[in-house]
Amino acid sequence: MSLSLDIRKRFPGFALDVQLEAGEERVALLGASGCGKSCTLRCIAGVETPDEGRIVVNGVTFFDSEAGVNLTPQRRKTALLFQNYQLFPNLTVGENVCAGMDLRLPAAERRRQARAFLAIFGMERFADRHPLQLSGGQQQRVALARMIAARPGIFMFDEPFSALDSYLKGALEQNLLDLFDVVRATVLYVSHDIDEAFRFCDRICVLDAGRVAEVGPTDRIVNHPTTLATLRLTGCKNTSRARRVDAHHVEALDWGMTFATRSEVPADVAHVGIRASYIHRDARDGENSFALTVARTSDSRFERVVLLEAPAGNPACRLQWKVSRVDVPEDRMPHAGDTLKLHFDASRIYLVSE
């Protein structure tokens, strides 16, 4: 199973220019809203037509602008699961699953296979119901069963959990992992959630303003980003323009702070990044220790987000710090107006040149 993608498509005020090679693996398309993730999937499925380029799936040319090839969506045999599951409301659950199967199969065999695919997701007992009689989570399970039944050459998911509450999302993520256990194909998974991409995918392709910013194994993309777009999309809340001081010191220009670094600072360093969870309370003096004032705090169930005034004093360039609230007394938590000695781990400072 393989994908070779090299396409360009122009819209008013936006241009898509994407190149990607993938094998029998799960690849996340990660990026901010409007960066071209969904459009890329639609071009592969044949819902959108690129202006130029080439799309080849498992040796079959779906699109080639130079050769004049542009297969219809029906001939491409792709599976694309949108945020809404697009089940046929007039068909039963079983009939929905049968709809994508090879019509050369006897009807009885299609029904047997449909129940077998539904059983993977615990939905076989609903085969005779209609989609509107099901919950959103049940409809998604049916849509996943239909995807497998169609035996597509490539599986594509367009933010399938974005409309679900956290409890249902957690349960249905396990259903998706069940699907991945039984398919051996190229899988493209669109998301703007780095945790989803990390859980589901082998590699991440970061898209920024219609172009590929970076591609690599999930762990490397998350822990060793090389571009500012990747750094921000992988959840780094603190980024600043940077200047190299020497081989192991970098100045964060937006914060007015200079850090010692474990890795060597590139000559062309452009930005420095520090994750909000990698700042620690520490009484020591010395490199990477600063007395910072708390500007504001806000709480979630398990952590407190703390905004810190940087020495540069620019309110638009405050640092974000995340502190666990689990089993921590309130009098030991940071509060607005506190001045605290904080330490920045030299091994946790990101340096990017693009």
Q: Which amino acid is at 27?
A: V
pTM of the model: 0.85
Q: What is the pLDDT along the chain (354 residues), one digit of tens a residue?
A: 699 999 999 999 999 999 999 999 999 999 988 899 999 999 999 999 999 999 999 999 999 999 999 999 888 988 887 666 678 999 999 999 998 888 889 999 999 999 998 988 889 999 999 999 998 778 888 888 888 888 888 999 888 777 666 776 777 778 778 778 777 889 999 988 888 888 889 999 999 999 999 999 999 999 999 999 999 988 899 999 999 999 999 999 999 999 999 999 999 999 999 999 999 998 778 899 999 999 999 999 999 999 999 998 888 899 999 999 999 999 999 999 999 999 999 999 999 998
pLDDT at 318: 95
Expressed in angstroms, the distance from the first to the final Cα of the chain is: 33
236-352 CATH choice from 2.120.10.30, 3.40.630.10, 2.40.50.100, 3.60.15.10: 2.40.50.100
Question: Which three-class secondary structure state does DSSP give residue 40?
Answer: helix
Q: Which whole-number Å values give the CA distances from 219 to 204, 238, 261, in the listed order?
A: 9, 20, 21
| DSSP codes joined into one string, 164-224 | S-HHHHHHHHHHHHHHHHH--SEEEEEES-HHHHHHH-SEEEEEETTEEEEEEEHHHHHHS
CB 296 within 8 A of CB 309: no
pLDDT at 273: 97
Torsion angle in degrees (nearest 10) through CA of 271, 275, 278, 284: 40
Helix (H) or strand (E) holding 320: strand 319-324
pLDDT at 83: 60
pLDDT at 84: 62
Q: CB-based contacts of 141: which residues, under 8 Å, 6+ apart?
A: 118, 121, 122, 123, 172, 175
CATH class for the domain made up of 3-228: alpha beta
Task: Give CATH 3.40.50.300 domain extents, the chain.
Answer: 3-228
- Give the Cα separation of 319 and 342 in Å (integer): 12
- Give the Cα separation of 252 and 136 in Å (integer): 47
Task: Give CATH 2.40.50.100 domain extents, the chain.
Answer: 236-352
CB 2 within 8 A of CB 188: no
